[in-house]
Structure 1
Amino acid sequence: MTTTDSSPQHVHAELLCANEANIQHCATALRHGQLVAFPTETVFGLGAAVTQLAAIQGIFKAKGRPSEHPLIAHVAPGAALTGWVAEVTPTMQKLIDAFWPGPLTLVVPKGERMPLEVTGGQNSVGIRCPSHTVAIALLKATGVPVAAPSANRFGKVSPTRASHVLAELGDRIPFILDGEVPEVGIESTIVSLLNDQPAVLRPGAITAAQIEAVLGVPVKTHGEVSKTPNANPRVSGALEKHYSPDAKVWVLEASELEALPVQYKTLCVGWTDGFLAQADALRELHADVLVEALNNNASDVAKALYATLRQADQLACKQVLFEKPEETAQWEAVNDRLKRASA
């Protein structure tokens, strides 16, 4: 089944600061079947209580998201998982102890209480415990898991500011809970525990090597998994083209900047001296070239990535020239998002 009606709901989102009263108000709204956008340490999510099937369907409608794309269920620290997952295995418990609250989603067999509407019709569910204080307070107050993909139109750039959510979904959802800017900035690592060997289905801030260190067993990297995508459960953020701004995204080495014809307003984004020097030279030749310098650190680039892609659209750029990251585990998640944004 596929949701095709993505027309506005003729509402105007209420932007609420994250104080105790507003968190309780939003928790009540979730329990009564309304949608609430809220911050996590990764990106802003668009939440519905998993017990409210009409609200879950409302997520797909608001985003224009196909309903076979599974959602991730978010739980509070220490929340009972009985019924929501089939079993908390020793492997699952090790990862919970090591990485929750935090940006790690575990894909496990679903429990009888978890609706198929959340899982995209699959018998597995992605579940995680976010570390953002506002998300934790909201989940505790709601009292049930909250299904929440990123709070943006399907396939577009994920939001890392409440203003991003308001601009994109403000006419489709009733509440946006504001809070501190997400400290990670890209979506969680997704690891599957459905088979004997754990496998990273989507790279994020937590690497396969970190998971291996906790479990003491080999973990399939995302690169290995991507060679046999049809053998894995469907998960969020796995489409070839995703996280895409309106501007065309190019991922280039510094040496490739010289050869690229600049015919439109262009934003060059880099973090090493060589790339930024070439970008500055390009700016001297073309008045419609802008340069954005980021810190030369994978975590800092990840945190700034989506806001930078959105900035390109706000500046009416036709293209964004991104520096090609290193091919290392630390940069894997940034490489993954840029690859999909530029597809």
Structure 2
Amino acid sequence: MEQKVVTKVWTVDNDVENAVENLQSCTQIVDAARLLRAGAVVAFPTETVYGLGANALSNDAVEKIFAAKGRPSDNPLIVHIARREQLSTVAAEVPAKAERLMEAFWPGPLTMILPRTDKVASLVTAGLDSVGVRMPDHPVALALIAEAGVPIAAPSANRSGRPSPTTAAHVLADLEGRVAGVVDGGATGVGVESTVIDMTVEPPMVLRPGGITREQLEEVIGQVALDPSFAAGATETPRAPGMKYTHYAPEGEMWLVSGEAGRVREKMAAMLREAKQHGRKTGVLATAETFDYWQGQPDADIVLCVGSRAALGEVAQQLYAVLREFDAHQVQFIVSETFSRDGLGMAVMNRLEKAAGGRIQQA
């Protein structure tokens, strides 16, 4: 029988930014950091999603992340640091291009794959000779990591395969009783996970699209390649989180429908009608542009708006919360339109394709 633990919740205002140099004034952060140093796992907010953190230098501590998430241990984790000085603890080498990206995007939603040091716990890297590192752009995360005094390994704070959490309530829904604590810093900002770029190859290669677009990266370092496997998943040991297993999935069966707008509506309507005929509760993931239309359709039981097609940052920010809301409504069959892959759209489509398990219909 699985042993439950009491999950402590600390509520922290973002004004901890002013207390980073004197964190004794923020007892919640001090308490959470103490647990991290003691080898416990603690969830905390970043600017992307909530992370589930443990001491990246301890295999015993990191093992608790995999146990809590139900995550396969051959899926590497990202290491989070609070200061540039911590980088030498986990990265054996920092190429010039990586330095330029740090100057441009750190702190921020960019993870760089770099040669690892021997200090990094082997479970963090899934046995690889490289490690993913980032500096989150969130005052609570930076304060917690600084107070803990060690680099923090942290995947998203959800049960493996579930939509990533963008609020503390999402974390508790998945992990209460399985982790030592949750630092509640409010809703996250970017909404989708960090971009992962491999700096051990030339040209550098994006392994996972995220909050920093390929176009932004190329403005700083020139040519950037795209790993062809990031959308469909890798068949070998993944070099970055999110490359191998199904992720972000709601409990209901989800389909994406691609094509010309009018045909997409017709196809989605037909799929909803068929699902209703089989007695299934249906849902539509709509945009601001299509929300009113779908609300008027009798075969759409639950219609949720993910944001405007003209504001993909809004779509990215709300995507996981909307997927979880379908679960709250016990929706069994979900259809969604697709998005352009330009800019942030690449990250949005990557997450949608994984949420749908690769199920895409061409209208």
TM-score normalized by the length of structure 1: 0.91
Shift of 1:233: 4.7
Structure 2 CA distance, aligned partners of 1:26 and 1:64? 22
User: Is 1:218 the counterpart of 2:229 in the alignment?
Assistant: no
Is the CA contact 2:75–2:237 (under 8 Å) kept in the aligned structure 1? no
Q: Give the stretch that moved more between structures: 298-307 or 254-263.
A: 254-263
Q: Secondary structure at the match of 2:74?
A: coil
Structure 2 CA distance, aligned partners of 1:236 and 1:291? 31
Match of 2:6 among 5, 12, 25: 12
1:72 match = 78
Map 1:235-314 to 2 at 5 A: 235-239=240-244, 241-252=246-257, 253-260=264-271, 261=273, 262-263=275-276, 264-273=280-289, 275-282=290-297, 285-286=298-299, 289-296=301-308, 297-314=311-328
Shift of 1:255: 3.2
Map 1:78-117 to 2 at 5 A: 78-117=84-123
Going from structure 1 to structure 2, the CA distance change for 1:227 and 1:37 (only over 3 Å counts) comes to closer
- % identical aligned pairs: 38
Structure 2 CA distance, aligned partners of 1:294 and 1:332? 16
Shift of 1:332: 0.6
1:4 match = none
Structure 2 CA distance, aligned partners of 1:250 and 1:167? 25
Q: Secondary structure at the match of 2:344?
A: helix
Is the CA contact 2:210–2:344 (under 8 Å) kept in the aligned structure 1? no
Is the CA contact 1:192–1:201 (under 8 Å) kept in the aligned structure 2? yes
Q: For residues 234-291 of structure 1, what are the alpha-carbon distances to aligned partners after superposition, in whole Å with 9 as ceiling and x for unaligned?
A: 2111135211111111212333222212412222121153x33541232xx24x6122
Q: For residues 203-222 of structure 1, what are the alpha-carbon distances to aligned partners after superposition, in whole Å with 9 as ceiling and x for unaligned?
A: 0011111111101x210124
Q: Give the stretch that moved more between structures: 254-263 or 173-182.
A: 254-263
Structure 1 CA distance, aligned partners of 2:196 and 2:266? 34
User: Is 1:324 the counterpart of 2:329 in the alignment?
Assistant: no
Q: Give the stretch that moved more between structures: 232-241 or 316-325.
A: 232-241
Shift of 1:10: 1.2
Going from structure 1 to structure 2, the CA distance change for 1:56 and 1:227 (only over 3 Å counts) comes to closer
Is the CA contact 1:8–1:62 (under 8 Å) kept in the aligned structure 2? no
Map 1:105-144 to 2 at 5 A: 105-144=111-150
Alignment: residue pair count: 332
Going from structure 1 to structure 2, the CA distance change for 1:226 and 1:195 (only over 3 Å counts) comes to farther
Counterpart amino acid of 2:105? F
Structure 2 CA distance, aligned partners of 1:226 and 1:174? 33
Q: For residues 132-180 of structure 1, what are the alpha-carbon distances to aligned partners after superposition, in whole Å with 9 as ceiling and x for unaligned?
A: 1100110111111000011111111111110111111101111110002
Counterpart amino acid of 2:244? L
1:202 match = 208
Q: For residues 172-212 of structure 1, what are the alpha-carbon distances to aligned partners after superposition, in whole Å with 9 as ceiling and x for unaligned?
A: 11111000211001110000011121000000011111111
